[in-house]
Amino acid sequence: MEKLLIVDDTAEIRKQLKWGLGKEYKVLLAETVAEALTLFAQHQPKVVTLDLGLPPDLDGATEGLRCLETMLDQQPATKIIVLSGNEDRNNAIMAVTQGAYDFYQKPIELAELKVILRRAFHLADLEADYKNLQAVVRGNEPGLQGIFGECPAMQEIFKTIRKVATADVAEMVLGESGTGKEMVARAIHARVLSKNGPFVPINCGAIPENLLESELFGHEKGAFTGAQTRVLGKVEYAQGGTLFLDEIGEMPASLQVKLLRFLQERIIQRVGGREDIAVDVRILSATNIDIMPAISNGTFREDLYYRLGVISCELPPWRERGEDIRLLANLFLQKYTQECGKKIRGYNNNAVRELRDYAWPGNVRELENKVKRAVVMAETSIVDARDFGFVRTSLEPASVEKEQAAESYFDFSGLTLKQARSRVERELLVNAIEENDGNVARTAELLGVSRPTLYDLMKKHGLHNSAET
């Protein structure tokens, strides 16, 4: 639960806000600047509501402005919302010029304040994501370009890359399709200082069995019908560099024997040839199959596995990479926003939740595809969950609509202040009524209004038949 610091000298307002916001946030309360700064240092909340008239200067703004300045000095990204009365409007505007996120004029309408708080927390999250992304990009060491990850599993992968790059051993990279196995292989190749040859990949599962041997080892003129000239294979092209055998688990059994002989002797013969050719290459391989069952059922040679997998590392699927998903989603958003020439600032809460909760069976490839689609389909400057084009199977449509309504992003462009307030008010009423299954008493309690007031609001917005007592 997000932390929200409320700084106000009026006990009634503190009580009202804690009661009205306590279900959504961990509310911290302070009456003085000293209390506020102590709680701020201890909890570092992303968002603060601040009354400018604090003791001992209850009729002025010196203490409130001092509190604002100190907080922003300590945490410049904090979103501070100034709560002011009519007589404090000029001081509130001054506070905004000094770095406050926004100001809200008393008396407090809880529904309106909730919207401001939601947007403040959302913006704070977007800025934090961008800051983390920039830190990763700036700190990405040579040889790890293109691989991002802050989760523990990826940190272990980075350690493995650093270690194996200095030792001339074969490594097998395991992981589901689309997790970035070739990127890891390229990172290992880039860090090897003793070899400056090329990186040569070959997909063992994409080439027909009758052509794969020739692709690997080359062939002599006349070796088979259509072989009109001598052709070098991938192994020879990788001389002095790295040969990457992708989807090695799909290599035919007959060719596994020949590959094993090459790994043992480091000598090849082209198809149709008799000349022994010595080759100095580093071998990296990858597979998306579970290799041990393949060894057990005889489709993959155990001795070949131990030759190729002197060291092995397993890439985690994207559904297990936590905040890395948002990190890379932001990177793809920047990339395709520039490519498409669109002005998109980020994701709304629905989209962020979708990124977090989706299983990502296609891993990073699917993530990139969905973000690109979202950039193309987005109709505003904020990506919504609908823009990804997910096909839902686990949630009923009504549940989806309810979830989307609960955290919707409000587009106020072209609306007057009165129209915007009415729109927000109605949206909050609908959400609260649905959340409480039409129970008026619980809905009124959630919104912080009396039952008569709730009935008036429902009638005002044409919702008088939507709830039951």
Residue 206 confidence (pLDDT): 86
Residues 6+ apart with CB under 8 A from 44: 3, 75
The average pLDDT across 223-243 equals 89
Residue 195 confidence (pLDDT): 57
Residue 290 CA to its chain's centroid (Å) = 27
pLDDT single digits (tens) 386-438: 899 875 443 333 334 434 433 444 455 556 666 767 777 787 788 778 777 77
pLDDT single digits (tens) 242-278: 999 999 999 998 899 999 999 999 999 998 888 899 9
Residue 381 confidence (pLDDT): 81
Residue 7 confidence (pLDDT): 94
330 touches 368 (CB < 8 A):
no
Residues 6+ apart with CB under 8 A from 372: 332, 336
pLDDT band at 86 (very low <50, low <70, confident <90, very high): low
- Could you give the CA distance from residue 289 to residue 247 in angstroms, rounded to a whole number? 8
DSSP designation for 394: S
Residue 277 confidence (pLDDT): 92
Of 469 and 293, the structure prediction assigns the larger pLDDT to 293
Is 129 inside any structural domain? yes
Of 132 and 408, the structure prediction assigns the larger pLDDT to 132
pLDDT band at 28 (very low <50, low <70, confident <90, very high): very high
pLDDT single digits (tens) 329-383: 888 888 899 899 888 878 887 888 888 888 888 888 889 999 999 999 988 888 8
Concatenating the DSSP letter of every residue in 189-251 gives HHH-SS--S-EEEEETTTS-HHHHHHHHH-B-TTSSTT--S-B--HHHHTTTSEEEEETGGGS
The sheet with strand 47-51 has its strands ordered as: 26-30, 3-7, 47-51, 79-84, 102-105
- Tell me: do 302 and 156 sit in the same domain: yes
SS3 content of the chain, % helix, strand, coil (to 5): 50, 15, 35
Residue 467 confidence (pLDDT): 42
How long a stretch of residues is the chain?
Answer: 469
- Tell me: do 105 and 171 sit in the same domain: no
Site of tokens 């209850």: 58
The average pLDDT across 8-21 equals 91
Single residue among 361, 393, 425 that ends a domain in this structure: 393
Is 198 inside any structural domain? yes
Residue 209 belongs to domain with CATH number:
3.40.50.300
Residue 193 confidence (pLDDT): 56
Does residue 453 register a pLDDT over 60? yes
Average pLDDT, the chain: 82
- Tell me: do 164 and 94 sit in the same domain: no
Of 440 and 217, the structure prediction assigns the larger pLDDT to 217
Is 407 inside any structural domain? no
Does residue 138 register a pLDDT over 50? no
Lowest mean pLDDT among 30-39, 302-311, 452-461: 452-461
pLDDT single digits (tens) 197-210: 899 999 998 888 88
Residue 247 confidence (pLDDT): 92
- Tell me: do 224 and 289 sit in the same domain: yes
Is 215 inside any structural domain? yes
Concatenating the DSSP letter of every residue in 307-361 gives HH-SEEEEPPPGGG-TTHHHHHHHHHHHHHHHHHT----EE-HHHHHHHHH---T
Q: Which amino acid is at 402?
A: K
Residue 337 belongs to domain with CATH number:
1.10.8.60
What phi, psi does 46 have (nearest 5°)?
A: -75, -30
Lowest mean pLDDT among 185-194, 218-227, 297-306, 311-320: 185-194
Of 450 and 417, the structure prediction assigns the larger pLDDT to 450
Does residue 172 register a pLDDT over 90? yes
Does residue 139 register a pLDDT over 60? no
Verify cis geometry, omega within 30 degrees of 0, for the bond prior to 55.
Answer: no
- Could you give the CA distance from residue 381 to residue 383 in angstroms, rounded to a whole number? 7
Listed in sequence order, the DSSP H helices in 24-97 are 33-43, 62-74, 89-97
pLDDT band at 41 (very low <50, low <70, confident <90, very high): very high
Cα distances (angstroms) measured from residue 385 to each of 210, 272, 357, 380, 413? 46, 57, 11, 12, 20
The domain tally of the chain equals 4
- Tell me: do 311 and 329 sit in the same domain: no
- Tell me: do 295 and 312 sit in the same domain: yes
- Tell me: do 295 and 359 sit in the same domain: no
Of 295 and 459, the structure prediction assigns the larger pLDDT to 295
Verify cis geometry, omega within 30 degrees of 0, for the bond prior to 107.
Answer: yes
- Could you give the CA distance from residue 29 to residue 16 in angstroms, rounded to a whole number? 11
- Tell me: do 164 and 131 sit in the same domain: no
Does residue 221 register a pLDDT over 80? yes
Sort strands 267-268 and 277-278 into parallel, antiparallel or unpaired. antiparallel
Site of tokens 């969905």: 370
- Tell me: do 296 and 218 sit in the same domain: yes
The average pLDDT across 456-467 equals 68
- R_g of the chain, CA atoms, integer Å: 31
pLDDT single digits (tens) 282-330: 999 999 988 899 999 999 999 999 999 889 889 999 888 887 888 888 8
Is 406 inside any structural domain? no
Domain span at residue 468? Answer: 412-469
Is 295 inside any structural domain? yes
- Could you give the CA distance from residue 239 to residue 236 in angstroms, rounded to a whole number? 5
The average pLDDT across 224-244 equals 89
Does residue 226 register a pLDDT over 60? yes
- Tell me: do 37 and 7 sit in the same domain: yes
- Could you give the CA distance from residue 144 to residue 184 in angstroms, rounded to a whole number? 8
Is 276 inside any structural domain? yes
Proportion of the chain above pLDDT 70, given as a percent: 87
- Could you give the CA distance from residue 58 to residue 87 in angstroms, rounded to a whole number? 12
Residue 135 confidence (pLDDT): 54
- Tell me: do 336 and 267 sit in the same domain: no
Q: Which helix (H) or strand (E) holds 295?
A: helix 291-296
234 touches 242 (CB < 8 A):
no
- Tell me: do 312 and 339 sit in the same domain: no
Residue 362 confidence (pLDDT): 87
List the structure tokens of 82: 């100034």
Does residue 50 register a pLDDT over 80? yes
The average pLDDT across 214-222 equals 90
- Could you give the CA distance from residue 51 to residue 66 in angstroms, rounded to a whole number? 12
Single residue among 135, 170, 191 that ends a domain in this structure: 135
Burial class of residue 223 (count of CB atoms within 10 Å of its CB; 0-12, 13-18, 19+)? middle
Single residue among 316, 334, 352 that ends a domain in this structure: 316
- Could you give the CA distance from residue 30 to residue 256 in angstroms, rounded to a whole number? 71
202 touches 218 (CB < 8 A):
no
Is 405 inside any structural domain? no
Does residue 191 register a pLDDT over 60? yes
